[in-house]
Structure 1
Amino acid sequence: MTKILIVDDEHMILEVLEAYFEKEGWQIFLAKNGVEALKKIKENAPDIVILDLMLPDISGEEVCRLTRKESDVPILMLTAKSAEEDLINGIVIGADDYVTKPFSPREVVIRAKAILRRVKKIGIANKLSFNHGDMNIDLAKKVVDIGGNSVILTPIEYKLLVGMASYPGRVYSRADLLDKVQEGGAYVEGYERSVDTHIKNLRKKVEADSRHPVYVLTVFGMGYKFGGTPDAFDTTF
């Protein structure tokens, strides 16, 4: 059974979304503030979190940041903020998608299902393929090829590439990427800026023209993101 945590301080919103997701047969957990949300994320390990930005104790943005330090659980943000900068910031700190208030409960259900389908495909895929087969990543063998040619990457470069390619379009700060390459005890010398050097070396290996990258893109003032367009996932590779 799919588990979902809905976080909002408005009782009516909790009640309505709970009713809609109950119809889908999901197991539902509710939280009315940030502290309660963080506790329930740890205790119940939901498959997805619907998170309001305006909470009475700590902000939804902070809940998202703290969650991302320990978990990749998909997060769908609910926000009354419609300014482009605010919405981009939500994606930068780790949200997978957002819905602006007022919203249709049915739209929230559809977006939550779409996020979980995407995550499930990534989880079961043995191969990631992008730009009509130009880039292929064999996750089992840890092999990358570009245009049919194998590319030799260092362990750190490989982790950076797979980390970003698993969520195309998501913006990662240097700190986010540093956390990814340090998983499992991998060592990264220096500070967050050392990520820039690894990104530069990665681009030289995977881009036809590193000055005009297609896959490893800089988001100025924010960090980096993967720009490849996913092909159909191959689960039999």
Structure 2
Amino acid sequence: MEEKVLIVDDEFGIVNAIAFAFRKEGYLVETAGNGQEALEKLSAFCPHVIILDVMMPKMTGLEVCRQLSDKKDIGIILLTAKNDVVDKILGLELGADDYITKPFDVRELLARTRSIIRRLQKNAEEPVQKIEAGRLVIFPSQRRVLLSGDALEMTPKEFDLLYLLISHPERVYTRDELLNAIWGFDYVGGTRTVDIHIQRLRSKLGEQNAYMIQTIYGIGYKALGE
């Protein structure tokens, strides 16, 4: 099955350059000039990954992310300006998998896209099951988490991180191991990314359940076993 990428940007020079590089690598490519057009093409094209500029007319990339928050089988890479830290954080909170800063090397964009597609394919192969740990119940195939019977809203990376830790109780992961497992070897961000996501997970688990993810000082993290 050919891998499909939807490229969304109002700068046609950037769109054409990315599209050329991805087609050369064997991807099926569709393009859109704004967020509204991207959503209109989404259902017919069914991309594996959307490469999405943040600042666009009619509908911004962040608004597109918000509308795609329930589509866990589509990877999203945001294209951001160099200093748009707030947009980067908000995009990740809204479910984007990664971001890349303009100007960028298209080879890096290709590498990050491949990493996301590998993760999506791996998730699709997971058998239907559930994992119970304390008040937590995780349904991997549905990418759903219940805490004391109530659904927890999580970004894709938060889910992947929680699932990895809970499914391997008492195993200590270094920050580098978590970074490579969840974000991929191609990810150029630092291990601080792991710490930030652990903090968010603990916040969502609440004070009574945050203890389930333990810090191993100077090394990394583990989930408590029963």
Which bracket does the TM-score occupy, shorter chain normalised?
A: 0.5 to 0.7
Whole-Å separation in 1 of the counterparts to 2:82 and 2:53: 11
Measured after TM superposition, the shift of residue 153 of structure 1 is 4.4
1:113-192 equivalent positions in 2, closer than 5 A: 113-126=114-127, 140-144=128-132, 151=134, 153=136, 156-157=146-147, 160=152, 166-168=159-161
Specify the code of the residue in structure 2 equivalent to 1:168: L
Which structure has the larger Rg over C-alpha atoms?
1
Deviation per residue, 1:171-212 (Å, 9 max, x gap): xxxxxxxxxxxxxxxxxxxxxxxxx9x9349x53xx6x36xx
Whole-Å separation in 1 of the counterparts to 2:4 and 2:146: 33
Q: State the number of aligned residues.
A: 169
Whole-Å separation in 1 of the counterparts to 2:9 and 2:136: 44
> How has the CA–CA distance of structure 1 residues 142 and 44 changed in structure 2, closer, same or farther, with 3 Å as cutoff?
same
Q: For the Cα contact (< 8 Å) 1:81–1:87, is it kept in 2? A: no
> How has the CA–CA distance of structure 1 residues 85 and 30 changed in structure 2, closer, same or farther, with 3 Å as cutoff?
same
Question: Which residue is equivalent to 2:25?
Answer: 24
Say what the alpha-carbon RMSD is for the aligned residues: 3.4
Moved over 2 A (4+): 69-72, 81-86, 151-169, 198-201, 227-230
Measured after TM superposition, the shift of residue 37 of structure 1 is 0.4
Whole-Å separation in 1 of the counterparts to 2:36 and 2:7: 13
Measured after TM superposition, the shift of residue 12 of structure 1 is 0.9
> How has the CA–CA distance of structure 1 residues 124 and 160 changed in structure 2, closer, same or farther, with 3 Å as cutoff?
farther
Question: Which residue is equivalent to 2:98?
Answer: 97
Local SS of the residue matching 2:146: helix
Q: TM-score, normalised by structure 2?
A: 0.63
Kindly indicate whether residue 34 of structure 2 is the aligned counterpart of residue 49 of structure 1: no
Whole-Å separation in 1 of the counterparts to 2:48 and 2:221: 26
Measured after TM superposition, the shift of residue 124 of structure 1 is 1.5
Specify the code of the residue in structure 1 equivalent to 2:146: I
Whole-Å separation in 2 of the counterparts to 1:94 and 1:164: 8
Which structure ranks higher in relative contact order (CA pairs < 8 Å, sequence separation ≥ 6)?
A: 1
Whole-Å separation in 2 of the counterparts to 1:95 and 1:88: 9
Deviation per residue, 1:72-116 (Å, 9 max, x gap): 411000111424333211111111000000011111111111111
Of 199, 206, 229, the match for 2:205: 199
Local SS of the residue matching 1:156: strand
Specify the code of the residue in structure 2 equivalent to 1:144: E
Question: Which residue is equivalent to 2:179?
Answer: none
Whole-Å separation in 1 of the counterparts to 2:75 and 2:221: 20
Local SS of the residue matching 1:5: strand
Structure 1, gaps ≥5 residues long: 127-139, 146-150, 170-195, 216-226, 231-237
Q: TM-score, normalised by structure 1?
A: 0.60
Kindly indicate whether residue 73 of structure 2 is the aligned counterpart of residue 85 of structure 1: no
Measured after TM superposition, the shift of residue 121 of structure 1 is 1.7
Q: Percent identity?
A: 35
